[in-house]
Structure 1
Amino acid sequence: MGFDYFGKSDDYRNKNQPSLLANGWRPFNREFDWDFLWQLFHQDTQELTQKSLNLASRVGENLGRNNYAWWANLLNIFSEDTRYEVEKFWNYITPEPLSPDYRYKDILSTETPIVQFVSRNSIPIDYVLNRLQEIAVFRVLDLLGCPDVITQYYLERDFYFPVEKFNGWERLDVVNSVYAYWSQHDVWLQIDPYDRGRRQYTLMAKDIQPLINKATYDLAVMLSGYQSRVGKIHSEFPIKTFGANIQTFTDSVQQAILNQNQLAVLVHGKPGTGKTAWTQAVAKEILAPLGYVIFILDHDAISNFVPPSYLERICLIINEADNLAQDRASEVAQYSNKTEHILSLLDGTLYQSVIDHSGIQMRQRLVVLMTCNTTERLDPAMLRKGRVDLLQEFSQKFV
């Protein structure tokens, strides 16, 4: 009794093939293709000739045995060994089922279900970012709809699932790697099973970004300790409720968002002047409709945050920046690296210094909206040209 890489015995595997059939899977029968055979004849003539002679020799040997009656030799043609050789030859001269092109550079993957670990020493920020990626993958699958083909290779046999019976990925019986393909978008899906019902979903395509942009539309993420969650941006006050000078400034911000790939905006003023409400209004009314995913970061989250590489448009909202990017000459700032981190975020140096050759590569658009009570405590490097593009003081009490 042997074991495969899933750690399951051969007996277990043999029981699962009838299980696949019972759950709607059907054996995949290869079809003869004259064009494919013609290519083999021209490009692999020696191998084709050798395999043909080997099969003919095996059949002739079985038919010509002298120690058995003719009818026994004929029955031996249908034995398991001979049938296996014929099947190997048939698989060689017929095209294989469609399989993913692993040269595709656009790859988006998630394990599901996402498991959350919470303790006094572990704030579940990573869980929320993983949850965001899971939501993106399944929203893309919803946009793609029913695939053109679903296949699975198991126990040296190919199976397919009739697409007309497909009613959801969670209900699909996955024993080995499952592949699905959408020809219209040239997108592949690979599903790999793990223990305890967990799975990994991997999307592969030449250009999957348009689908991701649609899938992540109107999403917002709060990264704030135990309040971290994924949802939609909420704004209690629309932009038109702010004063005329703030509305004029908002028009300048909107134009800069359209013109620049990277923009940093800092608004400052006394508490109660509507700074936080304004950032939420801009995020909801301007950025979300343009396809930006909104991230609201607290001081703990900013220390380890790197913008997800698969998102094309990202907005970061950072409140009370004067408590975050403090002047590094002060004693308090010397015990923290948050100032350096926010400066690198504004520069783009933190996550663009090394370009990964795998995964989705693009030029990201980044908008950073920051609020603070006073600019006096900010590190001077924050206000240098090229880091903060637009600066506005909120002076009127906002009710």
Structure 2
Amino acid sequence: MPPTASMPGLSRRFTGVASSVVRDLLALTQRPGVISFAGGLPAPELFDVEGAQAAFEEVFARAGRRALQYSTTEGDPRLRERIAELYLARGLPTVADQIVVTTGSQQGLSLLAQALVDPGDVVFVERPSYLAALQCFGLAGARLVSVPSAGDGIDIDALDALAAAHRPVALYTVPTFHNPTGRTLDRANRAALVDVAARHGFRVLEDDPYQQLRYSGEPMPPMPTLTDDPELVVCTGSLSKILAPGLRIGWVRTTPAIRAAVVVGKQAADLHTSTLDQAAAEAYLASGRLGPALDRACAEYRSRRDALLGGLPDALPAGSSWNRPDGGMFVWARLPDRLNATDYLPRALARDVAYVPGAPFFPTAPEPQTLRLSFTTYAPDQIREGTRRLAAAFAH
């Protein structure tokens, strides 16, 4: 038998795109007894299981065979109407034709990267930024340029200068309860950001999966309301944090210029998102149960946030700092400059507690003293026990 010829290597697009440290940590923290502040997971005990079950039963009773059939790429028309109504309730007029339903908002980011980015194009990201978005744009061949912060917002002067120097095609932001930092851009910062994008001619990609998880403070406007240009801001959203991540229902609020490209990308990716799950999500939204379920979740998450914040002064080394987010899932902490959060992670895992080191969230020049802590998954008593374990891990 002749020798087998060597096989081609992997695509070059995977060079330099690392695996998600968060997903890798999830595998390490599945053993019983671990309290993990690492994953941004909603609390399963707060899922409205009865409401979801009733929604699926209604779908099977009303349209069982249709719900098991192929569907349109753009998504269930009734669900797209419901999603448009969510935007309208926030003061952003939206019609169903603007919505393309995706398999989680993560797929929406991938579709936007395909539609808007050619290899070598510059994409601006916040510093730090959502790790999976860095993967999406990296796989599309983007050159990522991080924009520095100023207080709790984006440094607008630095953004203006960077835009003049790099001519980006887009800026990606999580403006409300940011992942990983938990911060929220105020109205003035949002308006200034949109103004820079308009003057320099790049799109703003507003990823907003957490905005309904608010525990204090005032709601912020969607960025498309801050401009008259319908092409300037593209939005992505999700039901994962407010209904159930297992449904994998997200969307892109498209613009006329990009809608066709997003649809073609979706056709190539998976034809369409699950017909059954879309129909059940629409039935659930129509039932009126989301509002009360969100109220319950926000009340509980507020107490969990407060439990984590209350435990951090004793858990982290003297000289550490952290923020107090108004909502979402995350607290961002900074150890004294001499310490490296990654070095302490094995000590934490040995004590059955976990967090995510902050360094992977930076596309360049990581800050090793940072870490992200999620507070939504555990009840306050477990969170307090977790912070006691963290104190032992960081003890010298």
Larger radius of gyration: 1
TM-score (norm 2): 0.20
Could you say which structure has the higher helix fraction? 2
TM-score (norm 1): 0.20
